[in-house]
Amino acid sequence: MPLCYIAFGSNVEDRLNYIIKALELLKGYGSIKKVSTLYLSQPWGKTDQPVFINGVLEFETELNPIRLLEILKNIERQAGRKPRERWGPREIDLDILLYENHILMLSFLRIPHPYLTERDFFLFPLLELNPNLIHPASKVKLQEYASRLENNLTPFACLLPF
């Protein structure tokens, strides 16, 4: 079964509850293999908003990347996400970071995630799950990108087992 990595985050109200609800819903579409430590992270892009809880999970699914994106958007709505401004506060956010070694460049979906190597809350939890990952497009080890990126994450919690 294809293996992918999905980032998740929340910075509104009961952040942990939104994350747990979304991950419970996701389990109906495949198998969550591993979940990173949950981290507190500063907002990216639009910085005048509450701190996020972020993490990454390793997920096996038979869904193709486009169908997986549709399911993730559905799960966000079911878990309580409300429409808001881009990069603004979110009840729950789910992003596909990597899907096998696929490279996909569509107007509505880019894999690997276009900000994968720039966001500490994507890169460091991802490497916690698999330190040997290689960027499918650049063929550079993600550890190399991490060595150039400041890690401003604060460990918050672990979800074991999931």
CA distance 31 to 136: 23
CA distance 98 to 30: 16
> 3-157 has which CATH code?
3.30.70.560
Q: What is the pTM of this model?
A: 0.96
Q: State which residues of the chain have pLDDT below 50.
A: none
pLDDT value, residue 162: 64
CA distance 80 to 120: 25
Residues 6+ apart with CB under 8 A from 8: 19, 22, 23, 54, 55, 56, 57, 92, 93, 94, 95
pLDDT value, residue 86: 83
pLDDT value, residue 85: 83
Q: Give the catalytic positions in this structure.
A: 81, 90, 93, 95
Pick from 108, 124, 111, 4: nearest CA to 55: 124
